[in-house]
Structure 1
Amino acid sequence: MAMDPAQLQRAAKDHLWMHFTRHSSYADADVPVIVRGEGPYIYDSNGKRYLDALAGLFVSQLGHGRTELAEAAAKQAQELAFMPLWSYAHPPAIELAERVAGYAPGNLNRVFFTSGGGEAVETAWKLAKNYFKLIGKPMKHKVLSRTIAYHGTTQGALSITGLPLLKQQFEPLVPSTFRVPNTNYYRAEEHGAPKGLSLEEFGRWAADQVAVQIENEGPDTVAAVFMEPVQNAGGCFPPPPGYFQRVREICDEYDVLMVSDEVICAFGRLGHMFGAERYGYEPDMITCAKGITSGYAPLGAMIASDKLMEPFLHQTQWKSSAHIEPGTRAEHGAGAMFAHGYTFGGHPVSTAVALANLDIFENEKVLDNVRGNQDAFRATLERLTDLPIVGDVRGDGYFYGIELVKDKATKETFTDEECERLLYGFVSKQLYAEGLYCRADDRGDPVVQISPPLICTQEHFDEIEHILRIVLDKAGTLL
């Protein structure tokens, strides 16, 4: 029997350990309980409606309540509920791998399925190290990533993440990760860029710092560079023109693998199946998740170039006496094995849902909707720049950050104590109270992030802007 709202509250507070949650904040307040969704809206246990302006967590590309996706899951569960991809395969994983490879740029034709984005990042780093060992460059193991960038919560992905305060309580982490500047042009000089650079000049400078860091660490020790097409943490930093092309040149020069972390940016968020396509570069690997199923089932993937698969097709590996899993032992004389996998990676139900999700993308021209409306979305959000508290509106496609400042003329930001009172004490709670689900975040400078379902149009943009204006206008008077 279903619980009533009061029972749900008691059970949530007594038993549910929520993710990235300050449980103390619910000592004298109710836990928000979302019970259903319809299109771009979600509803709580009291019947109140909210516009889902974060697509859940950059996930719900098609919105809520798509019966086709639920039916695809049910049909697959009836036919084959589970089968791992450990030396065996099943049709939906095979079909999805072919389809994803078809969308991916260049010769990224090998798809390794995971349960989610953090696992995809782990997979990419492990593959980079394994690959270089197999081709006779065993010292290449280090990874570069950008400051403030978020790449996941597992030990390896968290090591690659560039957010010190998020990492310190879990240290020591996996060693050998190093940071390079991000592409925050709004605060370029504060983070080391020379004064007076144009956007293009700043992009060249930021990209060149990758080469500087590779030289500092030693080119024979660096395996990969991890970068999001639009960096999420810090509030949506798009790349300056030519930035990724220069990073690609540097990676080629030093024999370093370029990993495009598209856990957020893939599957339409930027108006293309992959952000690499949006910005015209070809990485060696893509990590993705979230939008591949629009959240109707958990799934992620690491997509690798044919070059990275090559050693696993022809190399030999020592005979192992260690038990791994039935049917997976690499015997002497056989091809080298990538000794890595996940029980639920490429789950039959999840891959079936992903196929149905991609069918809807094509049949309903979802990418065209994003590309056709993205300029209007930007223009609608940019109306907010008349508010004294709004310093910058940045992003691309359906993925934006609004940076809040104390002084627009000087770009002065808020103190930690002011951020606490402003973002968490007022803005976050008040946006929700006004019927808008989004994210107020201070990993880096204080921002509000907006990333609605890809089915949204001008009526939803106006609703987002209207609620943001009410809340941010009042927020500006509180400090």
Structure 2
Amino acid sequence: MGNTMSNATDHLWMHFTRMSSYDHAPVPVIERGEGAYIFDTNGKRYLDALSGLFTVQVGHGRKELAAAAAAQAEKLAFFPIWSYAHPAAIELADRLADLAPGDLNKVFYSTGGAESVETAWKVAKQFFKLTGKPNKHKVISRAIAYHGTTQGALSITGIPPFKEAFEPLVPGTFRVPNTNFYRAPEHLADDEKAFGQWAANRIEEAILAEGPSTVACVFLEPVQNAGGCFPPPPGYFQRVREICDEYDVLLISDETICAFGRLGTMFGAQKFDFQPDIITCAKGLTSGYSPLGAAIISDRIFEPFSKGDAMFGHGYTFGGHPVSCAVALANLDIFDREDLLGNVMRNENPFRMTLEKLMDLPIVGNVRGDGYFYGIEMVKDAATKESFTDAESERVLRGFLSKALFENGLYCRADDRGDPVIQVAPPLICDQTQFDEIEQILRSVLTEAWTLL
């Protein structure tokens, strides 16, 4: 194991990574995990305050999930669900249909979030072709929202720097404002509900600007990830649902992050009490122990696909993989047995209050989020909300913060897609012990970061 560190960049091309940053520095190599903690090859311990990547809901090192994978692999390691089925895929689909809100009863498997988003967009397009509205194909999503990296999901993503290298992308996608109340227009800065109605009404405006006969769907995360955990203002999703109903537009809840307890409910739509036409999910479905995603689709949308010679010409070799489905079932068993949803609901306010202690630091402008999913926005001036310049972001965020947090034993995300934020999303097993650890490390590192501004 000794020379792993120096060899990591020889052949491994890391995702979303400036490879040159490891020309003169070793790549951190994480070797094992246990509960809420991860350990590198030198044996150093870190608090995994991002759940891997918003994924490891039940924590690391769960032997029963490894055992479920092994047992399934011994019995049936692989078979496709192209015109065939296997017991694990059937059982998990039943369970997801029971858990999902309303009439979301049809489960189309993928292997991850972006593939689930691709699935939902394709379902929407074909649904309208099958129901006599062939021009409805366009998608509306929000500024700075991240929906994945495949060509379709990237087209729906609202982060221009992520897209530039890959243009031209799939046409027909349009952006509306997100629900960042901290940066709300001045005339709405004091009224969160009015701001929410304003933001929702921009969706109607976009539908009318494009022509309702051409718009198929709206993709929204219950709490928007990129930009730093924007929760919806009260009444926002109810207004969006009204707009979608009025113009026959599908409301797709992208819950790649927000499903499976991240907000304290099984699905994010349940936390904010709205009914989507499709939920896209992945990550927490297996707590990351095996790759799996799903689009959970309403009976109404499935109906025209169920007749005559209609077929949805879409699928993935590893979608609904037997081992992944077995792991997902065992993962959901842990949710039930340990009442993880209840744990998040009981602890979300203590978690928020612990993070809000950081508001006494001059560099902290805003703490926002929901459940076990929070963003801390950093500013140069808390009174005016003045943000970092690009050069300051480069120096403070990339040059210092990311590395310093990790060196101090905290794995989280320092990011500036939008404004500079630190994001924390610990495993759902965490409690006040971990909240305090997160706050203490953030406090010491952010205090030092302030001196660099």
* TM-score bucket of the superposed structures, by smaller chain: over 0.9
Q: For 1:129, which of 110, 125, 128 is the aligned residue?
A: 125
- How far did residue 313 of structure 1 move? 1.2
- How far did residue 285 of structure 1 move? 0.2
Q: For 2:327, which of 353, 359, 368 is the aligned residue?
A: 353
User: Which residues of 2 match residues 398-413 of structure 1 at below 5 A?
Assistant: 398-413=372-387
Which residue number in structure 2 is paired with residue 5 of structure 1?
2
The reply on whether 1:102 has 2:98 as its aligned counterpart is: yes
Which residue number in structure 2 is paired with residue 288 of structure 1?
281
The runs of 5 or more residues in structure 1 that have no matched partner are 315-333
**Which string of whole-angstrom CA distances, capped at 9 and with x for unpartnered residues, describes residues 189-244 of structure 1?**
1xxx7444500000000001100000000000000000000000000000000000
User: Which residues of 2 match residues 201-350 of structure 1 at below 5 A?
Assistant: 201-314=194-307, 334-350=308-324
Which residue number in structure 1 is paired with residue 344 of structure 2?
370
**Which string of whole-angstrom CA distances, capped at 9 and with x for unpartnered residues, describes residues 258-301 of structure 1?**
00000000000000000000000000000000000001000000
Which residue number in structure 1 is paired with residue 371 of structure 2?
397
Which sits farther off after the overlay, 9-18 or 273-282?
A: 9-18
Whether the aligned pair in 1 keeps the contact of 2:412 and 2:424 (CA below 8 Å) is yes
SS of 1:236's equivalent in the other structure is coil
Which letter maps to 2:345?
R
Distance in 2 between residues matched to 1:61 and 1:435, nearest whole Å: 20
Q: For 1:17, which of 6, 13, 19 is the aligned residue?
A: 13
Which letter maps to 1:478?
L
Distance in 2 between residues matched to 1:67 and 1:91, nearest whole Å: 22
Q: For 2:38, which of 42, 47, 53 is the aligned residue?
A: 42
SS of 1:175's equivalent in the other structure is coil
Distance in 1 between residues matched to 2:99 and 2:365, nearest whole Å: 37
Please give the root-mean-square deviation of Cα atoms over the aligned residues, in Å: 0.7
SS of 2:414's equivalent in the other structure is strand
The reply on whether 1:452 has 2:426 as its aligned counterpart is: yes
- How far did residue 434 of structure 1 move? 0.2
SS of 2:240's equivalent in the other structure is helix
Distance in 1 between residues matched to 2:398 and 2:200, nearest whole Å: 34
SS of 1:476's equivalent in the other structure is helix
User: Which residues of 2 match residues 438-449 of structure 1 at below 5 A?
Assistant: 438-449=412-423
Identity of aligned residues (%): 70
**Which string of whole-angstrom CA distances, capped at 9 and with x for unpartnered residues, describes residues 172-205 of structure 1?**
000000001100000011xxx7444500000000
TM-score by length of 1: 0.94
Whether the aligned pair in 1 keeps the contact of 2:146 and 2:226 (CA below 8 Å) is yes
Distance in 2 between residues matched to 1:250 and 1:61, nearest whole Å: 34
The reply on whether 1:387 has 2:361 as its aligned counterpart is: yes
The reply on whether 1:170 has 2:166 as its aligned counterpart is: yes
Which residue number in structure 2 is paired with residue 179 of structure 1?
175
User: Which residues of 2 match residues 27-176 of structure 1 at below 5 A?
Assistant: 27-176=23-172
**Which string of whole-angstrom CA distances, capped at 9 and with x for unpartnered residues, describes residues 349-408 of structure 1?**
000000000001001101000001110000000000000000000000000000000000
Which residue number in structure 2 is paired with residue 326 of structure 1?
none
Which residue number in structure 2 is paired with residue 318 of structure 1?
none
TM-score by length of 2: 0.99
TM-aligned CA distance change 1:380 to 1:196, over 3 Å: closer
Which residue number in structure 2 is paired with residue 465 of structure 1?
439
Distance in 1 between residues matched to 2:358 and 2:47, nearest whole Å: 18
Which letter maps to 1:460?
Q
- How far did residue 335 of structure 1 move? 3.0
Equivalenced residues, count: 453
Which letter maps to 2:2?
P
- How far did residue 9 of structure 1 move? 2.4
Whether the aligned pair in 1 keeps the contact of 2:222 and 2:258 (CA below 8 Å) is yes
- How far did residue 10 of structure 1 move? 3.3
SS of 1:309's equivalent in the other structure is helix
Whether the aligned pair in 1 keeps the contact of 2:6 and 2:26 (CA below 8 Å) is no
- How far did residue 13 of structure 1 move? 1.5
Distance in 2 between residues matched to 1:259 and 1:71, nearest whole Å: 34
TM-aligned CA distance change 1:440 to 1:196, over 3 Å: closer
Which letter maps to 1:385?
M
- How far did residue 418 of structure 1 move? 0.5
Whether the aligned pair in 1 keeps the contact of 2:5 and 2:26 (CA below 8 Å) is yes
Runs of 4+ in 1 over 3 A off after TM superposition: 193-197
Distance in 2 between residues matched to 1:310 and 1:195, nearest whole Å: 42
Which letter maps to 1:400?
Y
SS of 1:401's equivalent in the other structure is strand
Which letter maps to 2:298?
S
- How far did residue 76 of structure 1 move? 0.0
SS of 1:393's equivalent in the other structure is strand
Distance in 2 between residues matched to 1:374 and 1:397, nearest whole Å: 5
**Which string of whole-angstrom CA distances, capped at 9 and with x for unpartnered residues, describes residues 101-150 of structure 1?**
11100000000000100000000000000000000000000000000000
Distance in 2 between residues matched to 1:364 and 1:219, nearest whole Å: 46
The runs of 5 or more residues in structure 2 that have no matched partner are none
Which residue number in structure 2 is paired with residue 321 of structure 1?
none
Distance in 2 between residues matched to 1:158 and 1:174, nearest whole Å: 9
